[in-house]
Amino acid sequence: MTNPRQLAFIALRDVHKGAYADVALDRVLQKFNLADCDRRLVTELVYGSVRRQRTLDTLIDQFAKKKSHQQPQDLRTILHLGFYQLRYQERIPASAAVNTTVQLAKENGFAGLTGFVNGLLRQYLRQAGEQGGSTSATLSDRGAGEQGSRGAGEKDSLLLPQSPVPHFDPLELPENPVERLGILHSFPDWIVQVWLEQLGLDDTEKLCEWMNQSPTIDLRINPLRTSIEEVEAALESAGVLVRRIPHLPQALRFIGNTGAIQKLPGFKEGWWTVQDASAQLVGHLLDPQPGEMVIDACAAPGGKTTHIAELMADKGKIWACDRTPSRLRKLQENSQRLNLQSIQIYTGDSRHFNQFQNTADRVLLDAPCSGLGTMHRHADARWRQTPESVRELSDLQRELITHTSTFVKAGGVLVYATCTLHPAENEEVISAFLAESPDWQIEFPSGVELPDSTERTPQGWFKLWPHRQDMDGFFMVRLRKTNNSE
C-alpha cells in the first residue's frame, strides 16, 4: 500500500488514539518505501491536520448537522484530511482533494456516507467559489461517483479558489479576539491569551501564523573538525542550499528540501549536527572556557552539551546529567560522531544529586518546559499542554534551579533556559529564585552577540520571539554567584 492519503489516515488514527504525531508518522514511513514526493505529502497531511485540528473541527461544526465531537472518530479524521487539502494545499486541485477524501471514506468503513462527505466538502467550496470572485479552477457539481473518473484539470460549473485560504473565507469566526485567533489559527484559547497579554493583538497574530509554518532546519558546524566554509562547499557540491545566520558563527540554515539528513556530506564525519539557531545562542550565553568543569543538568538529547564541548575546545570536563537513559544514549551517539572526549554521562534526576555541590565553574539548566516556543516543530504540543501542566512544570523548574544552583562555585555562572514563551516558566521562576537567593544576581554578558530585535529586558533576561527573529522561541538568563557565597 503506497497511497499517501491512506497512510496519512493510518498515522492520524494513531494520533487520535494518543500516539505522538512524530512517532505515528515515523512508524508509517518506516513501514512503506515511498517516493520522496509521497513522503513529503504524507508528512504534510499528518502534521498539517494535527496543527489545524481546531479550525478543521470548526468547519465540520459549521457545515455538518452533527458537531465534530459527535462524528465517528475515523470519519472525523477523514473530513480533517479533506478540509485540510481544500483550505491549505494550493497545489492539490480541489477535485482531487474531494475525490480522494470520498475514496478514503469508501475504503475505511464509511461507504454509506460517501455522499455526505462529498456534499460537505462541496458545500465549503461552493461558499468559497460563489463569494470569492475571480478564480480559475473548477469542480463538478455532480456526485462523487462521477468525479472519481475525471481528470484533475477539467473545468466545470463551480468556481473554486486557488489560494490556500480562499479570497472569501467560508469559516465563520466569533468577535472575541481570543476565540477568533484560536479558531482561525488553530490554538487553544489559553495559549492565545498568554501571548496576547505579552504581545498585543497584531504581534500575537503574527506569532500564530509563524507557528503554523513548516519548520526550518539549522545546523551547527563543529569547528574542531572543519570550518563553516568547508561545510558550505561540501553541501553546495551535493546540490543542497544553505545560508548563514547573523550573530551565530557556527550556524547554517538549510534552504529547501534536503533529503535524508544522515546522508548529507559531513554528517558521518562529525562536521556538523542539527541544532536550531536559538539553542545555539544558549551555549554562547554560557560562554564555557577550556579547562573548566561544566554541568549540563538536563542534558539529553545533547545538542547543547556537545556545543559546550566545542566551545571549550573539548578541554575540561562536562557532566551531562539526565534521568532518561534512552535519551542519554542519543547524546552518547552524537558526542562519538562529533569525536568529543570531554563529556561524561551521569544518569539520574539532578534534583537529587549532592556530589556536585560547589564544584562547577558553570552550570546549564535547560529546564524541561511546555515547549510553547517550538510548537511548529511538534504539531501536537498545542493540544497536549494545558494550564495545569504548565503549573506542574513551573514547580519542577523552581525545584531544579534551587538545587542545581548549589553545584556552582563562588564566582561561577548558571544559565537558565527554556524553549517556552510562558511567563510562569520563565520570568516568574527567575524572580522567585532571586528573591530567595541573595547570593545570586543577573549578569549582562559582554561579547555575546544576539539577533536583531531580540528582547533584552531591563531585568536582564532575553526572549526570542519566533516571528521577530525567525527562529525557535526561547527564554534565557545568565546568573552569577557572588564571591561571598558559601
Give the tens place of pLDDT for each residue, 390-401: 999 999 999 999
Pair type for strands 360-366 and 408-418: parallel
Alpha helices in 221-361 (DSSP H): 228-237, 277-286, 303-311, 325-337
Highest-pLDDT range among 34-48, 50-64, 149-163:
50-64
Place of cell 545538542: 303
Long-range pairs for 244-248 at CB < 8 Å and ≥24 separation?
A: 245/218, 245/277, 245/451, 245/471, 246/451, 246/452, 247/449, 247/450, 247/451, 248/277, 248/280, 248/281, 248/284
277-481 CATH pick, 3.40.50.410, 3.50.50.60, 3.40.50.150, 3.20.20.150:
3.40.50.150
280 near 272, Cβ under 8 Å?
no
The predicted structure's pLDDT at residue 256: 84
The predicted structure's pLDDT at residue 247: 87
Pair type for strands 343-347 and 360-366: unpaired
End-to-end CA separation in angstroms for the chain:
66
Reported as a pLDDT band with limits 50, 70 and 90, residue 260 is confident
Catalytic: 419?
A: yes
Lowest mean pLDDT among 174-183, 359-368, 432-441, 454-463: 454-463
Long-range pairs for 147-153 at CB < 8 Å and ≥24 separation?
A: 147/95, 147/98, 147/99, 147/102, 147/118, 148/99, 148/102, 148/103, 150/95, 150/99, 152/93, 152/95, 152/96, 153/93
133 pLDDT exceeds 50?
no
138 pLDDT exceeds 50?
no
Nearest-angstrom CA–CA distance, 423 and 428: 6
pTM of the model: 0.88
Place of cell 500575537: 204
DSSP per-residue codes, 151-167: -TT---SEEE--SSS-S
List every span in the chain annotated with CATH 3.30.70.1170: 218-274
Nearest-angstrom CA–CA distance, 68 and 16: 13
Reported as a pLDDT band with limits 50, 70 and 90, residue 161 is very low
Place of cell 470572485: 133
Give the tens place of pLDDT for each residue, 265-299: 999 999 999 999 999 999 999 999 999 999 999 99
Alpha helices in 89-200 (DSSP H): 94-107, 114-131, 144-147, 177-185, 189-199
Residues 159-166 have a mean pLDDT of 43
List every span in the chain annotated with CATH 1.10.940.10: 4-180
Cβ neighbours for 332, distance < 8 A, ≥ 6 positions apart: 302, 345
- The three-class DSSP label of residue 462 is strand
The grid coordinates of residue 62 equal 459549521
- The three-class DSSP label of residue 242 is strand
Q: Is the dihedral of CA 229, 231, 234, 237 positive or negative?
A: negative
8 near 104, Cβ under 8 Å?
no
Which class does domain 218-274 fall in?
A: alpha beta
The grid coordinates of residue 423 equal 511567563
List every span in the chain annotated with CATH 3.40.50.150: 277-481
Residue with the larger pLDDT of the pair 449 and 101: 101
Architecture in CATH for domain 4-180: Orthogonal Bundle (1.10)
Nearest-angstrom CA–CA distance, 483 and 47: 50
Residues 457-467 have a mean pLDDT of 87
User: Which entry of 298, 321, 369, 419 is annotated as an active-site residue?
Assistant: 419
